[in-house]
Amino acid sequence: MDKKNYLFILTFLIAACVALKPADKPSIYIIGDSTVRNSNKEMWGWGTLLPEFFDTTKVSINNQAMAGRSTRTFVKEQRWAKVLEMLKPGDYVLMQFGHNEGSKPDTTKKGYRGVLRGIGQDSVNLVWPDGKPETVYTYGHYLRKFIDEARAKGATPIVLSMIPRNDWKDGKVILADKDFGLWAQQVAAEKNVTFINLNKRTADKYNAMGPDAVAKLFPFEHTHTSKEGARINAESVVQGIKASNEKRLKTFLSK
């Protein structure tokens, strides 16, 4: 065989191998706080248990949530930039924030995570003791940033409201339907993306269980759940996916 024919056959075989190579699996990236990803000891995040409900031969679950983070600090600490760098067309981004946003944004330790309330275009300019400036925006602004930038990478963003705390009033779990849960829903509607009302879905389950049974799901305080509680929240996420219009995402479910 002469060199010309050899190179032709070699090129053909390489091209055939590339053509036969299966496409990279899509990934589901999860961003959020400790209720999504935790120590996985006494306290668990629902994102850790989400792979139990998916066929991981068809899709990868990449939980990038980090304890203690708000929408603001997830951006500020370059955690969102890391996710963006990994995102590819066909991927998904599930975002759930709201537990750490509540403090007034300033340069104190308490205000480090805080955002401006609501979904408007307001902002506040801060100057840290080292002279570094920072502009802080509303909760809605940061959600829009995640949505717009995920879409720009060809990924599908999905917004979730925060999980309910073990807080009760008149025999019912207190919903986050007047602040962060409401604002998440409003931004999702504005941007025409899927919204999963995780707050209400799990709260409905807690109401059916009753305060005594639900208390057992919170081993230390009213925000962070046990593994069993995290599984309940993961189930609520999956139920929200099943009820949505995300047809392709549903094909990856195993349960």
CB 164 within 8 A of CB 202: yes
How far is Cα 138 from Cα 144, in angstroms, rounded to an integer?
A: 10
Summarize pLDDT for 128-175 with one digit per residue, the tens. Answer: 999 999 999 999 999 999 999 999 999 999 999 999 999 999 999 999
Task: Point out which residues pair with 172 in neighbouring strands.
Answer: 169
CB 26 within 8 A of CB 59: yes
CB 132 within 8 A of CB 151: no
Residues near 231 by beta carbon (within 8 Å), at least 6 away in sequence: 46, 49, 52
How far is Cα 177 from Cα 94, in angstroms, rounded to an integer?
A: 19
How far is Cα 38 from Cα 163, in angstroms, rounded to an integer?
A: 14
pTM, whole model, 2 decimals?
0.89
Summarize pLDDT for 18-59 with one digit per residue, the tens. Answer: 333 445 899 999 999 999 999 888 899 999 999 999 999 999
What pLDDT does 203 receive? 98
CB 152 within 8 A of CB 88: no
Residue 71's nearest CA partner among 63, 82, 80, 61 is: 80
Residue 245 has pLDDT above 60, yes or no: yes
CB 108 within 8 A of CB 86: no
CB 86 within 8 A of CB 78: no
Rounded to the nearest 5°, which phi and psi values hold at 190? -60, -40
Residue 16's nearest CA partner among 24, 4, 8 is: 8
CA 139 to mean position of chain CA atoms: 14
